[in-house]
């Protein structure tokens, strides 16, 4: 008699491969990138330094960082072909669909697109990293009937993004909060979009294809789209004083409450305290505490009644809203951050590759004969 087959839906508890990029420790609710606690990275480094760390395994020194920044800044511009594509997107197209298509088009224009050597993959990763924020900002402005703003090579990564979206660079506190969010979203082990990118890479497909797969997975509301869903949810609540009643009504209807719970963290997402701190900074800078006060009520009741903690998307949603970003931009911003983690995994998968091809447990009908059409 054969052994019973154990099927783990969602690959829960399955170790699919080794990785040295990041580590989640559920027992301590902690996360490290290349051995560094993410909270330490947020307090002591920039997003650009973290991008370098993820791709090279070590934090850069001053000379390495300057070279990395110079390379990124030199490649931010979009070619006329891609700009024409962005202008032709249908009115009302979702920004995630636009950035996914933009990355695919970048591959069409990239002379090294089919070269999957480590050196070429790294060069392509840098080009995607540099150009993706430009594409996100340009598509956002075009959707509003505004002309794109060209990237400014004199500005740091995060400052330049605000420049391209709004035409101005905000206060240092806003830039710092945004930079921290980018660090927190950069990498998170074998999440759905990263695993999708690794599966594509395992077929020896190119960097653009892998990143496009990651974006497609990230659009889903159970993954990256959750930060948008959080802000839509908060916008439904008239005031902080009515938040508890609103939430209890959701309980009564057994409706989903966005921004809570995590597949890996059971006692709190390690990234939340840092993001919450900077979301509160944004509330102070803007002078609007409604969203954070409402969030505090939801978090308190969810913990007391359901013993469920918030995840990173819960404070990130209102933080991005307070920065002035349109809600549909939240997940494309996530893309601009997570490209660093996806690329790190593409490089790691490619360095010791084996085609990812799991088994399925068949539960359909046993083999049968095909009847004549008149007997069906």
Helix axes 95-109, 80-87, angle to 10 degrees: 150
Residues 6+ apart with CB under 8 A from 367: none
Residues designated as active site: 223, 262, 313
Q: How far apart are CA 319 and CA 254, in angstroms?
A: 27
Q: How far apart are CA 299 and CA 233, in angstroms?
A: 13
Adjacency order of strands within the sheet including 30-33: 22-25, 30-33, 36-37
Q: Which residues in the chain belong to E strands, given as ranges?
A: 22-25, 30-33, 36-37
Q: How far apart are CA 327 and CA 319, in angstroms?
A: 11
What is the DSSP code (8-state) at residue 358?
-
Q: How far apart are CA 304 and CA 264, in angstroms?
A: 20
Token pair listed for 196: 């999708």
Residues 6+ apart with CB under 8 A from 117: none
| DSSP β-bridge partners for residue 326 | none
Q: How far apart are CA 312 and CA 271, in angstroms?
A: 6
Token pair listed for 112: 């090294």
Sign of the CA dihedral running 57, 204, 31, 223: positive
Q: How far apart are CA 243 and CA 308, in angstroms?
A: 17
Q: How far apart are CA 93 and CA 214, in angstroms?
A: 19
Residues 6+ apart with CB under 8 A from 305: 251
Token pair listed for 219: 């659009």
Q: How far is CA 154 from CA 52, 76, 78, 158, 159, in A?
A: 19, 11, 17, 12, 10
* CB-CB neighbours of 256 under 10 Å: 12
What percentage of the chain's residues is helix, strand, coil (to nearest 5)? 60, 5, 40
Task: Reduce the DSSP state of residue 221 to 3 states and report it.
Answer: coil
């Amino acid at each position: 008699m054969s052994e019973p087959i154990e099927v783990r839906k969602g690959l829960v508890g399955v170790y699919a491969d080794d990785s040295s990029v990041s580590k989640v420790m559920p027992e301590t609710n902690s996360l490290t990138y290349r051995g560094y606690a993410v909270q330490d990275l947020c307090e002591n480094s920039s997003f650009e330094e973290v991008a370098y760390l993820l791709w090279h395994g070590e934090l850069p020194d001053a000379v390495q960082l300057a070279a990395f920044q110079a390379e990124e800044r030199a490649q931010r511009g979009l070619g006329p072909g891609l700009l024409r594509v962005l202008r032709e997107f249908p009115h009302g197209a979702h920004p995630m669909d636009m950035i996914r298509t933009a990355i695919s088009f970048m591959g069409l224009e990239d002379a090294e697109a089919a070269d999957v050597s480590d050196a070429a993959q790294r060069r392509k990763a840098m080009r995607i990293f540099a150009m993706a924020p430009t594409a996100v900002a340009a598509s956002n402005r075009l959707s509003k009937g505004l002309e794109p703003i060209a990237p400014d090579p004199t500005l740091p990564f995060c400052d330049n993004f605000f420049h391209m979206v709004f035409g101005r660079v905000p206060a240092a506190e806003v830039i710092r909060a945004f930079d921290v969010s980018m660090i927190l979203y950069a990498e998170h082990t074998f999440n759905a979009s990263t695993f999708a990118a690794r599966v594509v890479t395992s077929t020896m497909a190119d960097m653009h294809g892998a990143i496009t797969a990651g974006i497609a997975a990230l659009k889903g509301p159970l993954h990256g789209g959750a930060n948008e869903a959080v802000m839509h949810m908060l916008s439904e609540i008239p005031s902080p004083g009515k938040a508890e009643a609103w939430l209890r009504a959701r309980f009564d209807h057994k409706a989903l409450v966005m921004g809570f719970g995590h597949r890996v963290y059971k006692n709190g997402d390690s990234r939340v305290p840092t993001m919450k701190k900077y979301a509160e900074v944004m509330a102070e800078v803007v002078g609007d505490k409604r969203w954070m006060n409402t969030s505090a009520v939801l978090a308190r009741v969810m913990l007391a009644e359901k013993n469920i903690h918030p995840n990173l998307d819960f404070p990130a949603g209102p933080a991005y809203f307070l920065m002035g970003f349109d809600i549909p931009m939240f997940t494309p911003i996530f893309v601009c951050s997570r490209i660093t983690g996806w690329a790190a995994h593409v490089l790691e998968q490619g360095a010791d590759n084996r085609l990812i091809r799991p088994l399925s447990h068949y539960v359909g009908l046993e083999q049968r004969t095909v009847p004549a059409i008149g007997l069906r």
